Structure 1
Amino acid sequence: MDLPVMPPVRPMLAKSVKGVPRTGGLSFEPKWDGFRCLVFKDGDEVELTSRNTKPLTRYFPEVVAACREQLPERCVLDGEIFVAVGAKLEFEVLQERIHPAKSRVDLLAESTPASYVAFDLLALGEDSYLTREFSERRAALEEALGGLTGPCYLTRTTTDPEVAEEWFQQFEGAGLDGVVAKPLTAPYEENARTMFKIKHVRTADVVVAGYRLHKNSTEERPLLGSLLLGLYADGKLQHIGVSASFTEVRRAELLEELKPLECDIAEHPWGEWAQWAIANPDRVPGTQSRWSAGKDLSFTPLHPERVLEVGYDHMEGRRFRHTAQFKRWRPDRDPASCGYEQLEEVVSYDLARILGAT
């Protein structure tokens, strides 16, 4: 492989902002909820690399085949690998594609095939586009990739913040993650946060059901790592995610604060999970998956008596997609009243309408 831009390349990043910017000079596009992926193509040679430059090629043979068939002869693209089930992106299904066994990879490539959506251009033919403005890169992308109908796609863009606001509100129903804004005059800067991302911010009242110790915790100075959170459904406390990102001082304070609530696992609503430690769809505390192999997932159970308000962006099935942000204690809330019905229900939206439009 001999391209104007060669791996490893760390992709350009985005910093979070509140609300769709109205300053002008920006190009907006949907924020795809998948695996960030750079495509390097030189004839029949195709390499896929992740955000942290690790190879993805072996996990997505159907994407490699699509790139060979649909993309220009020699190019380097920035984009996202995703899996759609019906009319919606499914990140959990995408995660299953990272498997060590080739037989399993081949089976999943048939049963849950992935697609690729391109949103930036690093090289085309003999030319590097890294130093060119995004407006020029986008124009070249549209000329080179226009008309793709899958499995490779070109993402939609707009310079109208009102349209971007509509996308932000509507596209979440198809499993997308928000909106990204790119300065039209900016070059492609590797590993630099020169883009802006706008994501949904919501709050929920959840039950604190346990904690894990921090990796730097010692017997002399124990430190809380994360709080395990739950919501009630049909009378049972379901694991919904974790809250973390505390200062070292706060980690020590929280341990002291929660100590009176510590209990034996046999007295805990999650006691039934203590007897098995296998991969499972609900990713309950203390259980293993290929994403957690080698990690200590043990936790200290707490009587589910305290309620916490957290911030979150969106759901992945019945769990928070990302780590929830600690907001404040809610001593006025009854734990039993904290259920899924408080969560905002996103209106569904057909993914095909996003991928099929130009």
Structure 2
Amino acid sequence: MTNLWNPITIGKLNLPHRLAMAPMTRSRALSDGTPGSLSAEYYAQRASLGLLISEGTQPSEDGQGYTMTPGIYTEKHIEGWRKVTDEVHAAGGYLFIQLMHAGRMSHPDNTPHHRKGVAPSAIAPGAEIFTPNGMMEIPVPRELSQTEIKETVEDFKKAAASAIKAGADGVEIHGANGYLIHQFFGENSNIRTDEYGGSVENRVRFAIEVTKAIVEEVGAERTGFRISPNAPFSKVDEGQSGPDLYRYLVEELKKLNLAYVHVMHGGDEELLRDIRTLWPNALLVNRPGRALEDIATDIDNGIADMAPIGAWALANPDFVERLKLNAPLNEPDKGTFFGGGSQGYVDYPALKK
């Protein structure tokens, strides 16, 4: 794992190693979307990972999908995130806030305005979602008009500005995992016949418009983009054109000179190699289910520049130290992943108390 401990520069950030904390929904925000009182402690505990990518954070009321998830579109949100970024910086880490618009993966009971979710097309995902009233079927979303698409781009732009105002070192655009931007990519979730549907170029258009707006607002060096090729989260299927869609997307992102692209790997090794060839800046690759001994394999093979980790970081605030010492790892408690208080959030033991 020698290469894992080599320093790297992401945008303008000088990082001590090639690990990072992947974004993970924890559902512990206040009811108005302000980060909860324990959030600053949670992220600061994990500052030794260097680059921390926050849980998905809604850029608007329409962007909320789940209960108790944080937002970054009001002054209270900014104040709450400022406490988080201050603590992370004091502990020596950096924080990118992930901007996540859930799109159709929502329920009226989970949002401040109690409206249905929005999407490229009025197609329900055929899935259930947790609400204050238990598990509920996700209703058919409302199709966004072209005017509303432009307004949503503006929402992302304002949210990015708010993240920087809150002290974040950058933002990650969530274009993966079945949420709004990914829904535009899917052949089965986007059946539009206008300039945002049909061809690869059209289905990628919204993602590029969002990214350009954010780059203009906060700078390319403060902007990352996450994708999940060939991973049918929330039943979004890019179809046979999927590989070409991602090659085109990465080529377009390359023109914008983003700080990084973050891949949630879905198993298409040829496409991953093509992305590596096409993408000149930092490439983060997260392989679900990989063994601990394989954590540096993609870096050693030149496929990736960084290896973001999820559950290992959740359960081990001192993961970096444990990995260097080959020390045993805490087991994640899946029962406390979402919602609740300090248990399973900030009470995982470190090697040194």
Q: TM-score range by the shorter chain?
A: under 0.3
Higher helix share: 2
Largest Rg, 1 or 2: 1
Structure showing the higher strand proportion among its residues: 1
